[in-house]
């Protein structure tokens, strides 16, 4: 490892704690499921609960994992960097 990569690795924030990750997941999942239920509710109401859950999970998981979680991780890193600059 060269000096540049060692410096970059030492300034990288630690991974989120379990509590931070739980909050980030909740912040991504709750609004996603709310919007999907509002948008697809009339269609989903005709399905059995198991099939409705399957459809919601199939649509929501990629939105959360590929769309929202990377944004929340970036936001967390910006907040950590901003808090670190104050001290």
Instruction: Supply the DSSP symbol for 64.
Output: I
The verdict on residue 1 lying in a domain is no
The residue segments making up the domain with residue 31 are 18-86
The verdict on residue 73 lying in a domain is yes
Would you tell me the crossing angle of helices 18-44 and 49-62 to the nearest 10 degrees? 130
Q: How many domains does the chain have?
A: 1
CA angle, 35 as apex, 31 and 39 as ends, to 5°?
175
> Cα separation of 16 and 3, whole Å?
25
pLDDT of residue 7: 54
Is 0.85 topped by the overall pTM? no
The verdict on residue 2 lying in a domain is no
The verdict on residue 12 lying in a domain is no
Q: Which residues of the chain have pLDDT under 50?
A: none
The verdict on residue 80 lying in a domain is yes
């Amino acid at each position: 490892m060269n000096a540049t990569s060692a410096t970059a690795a030492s300034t990288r924030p630690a991974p989120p704690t379990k509590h931070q990750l739980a909050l980030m997941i909740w912040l991504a999942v709750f609004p996603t499921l709310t919007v999907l239920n509002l948008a697809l509710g009339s269609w989903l109401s005709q399905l059995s609960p198991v099939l409705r859950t399957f459809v919601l999970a199939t649509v929501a998981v990629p939105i959360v994992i590929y769309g929202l979680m990377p944004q929340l991780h970036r936001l967390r890193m910006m907040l950590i960097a901003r808090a670190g600059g104050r001290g």
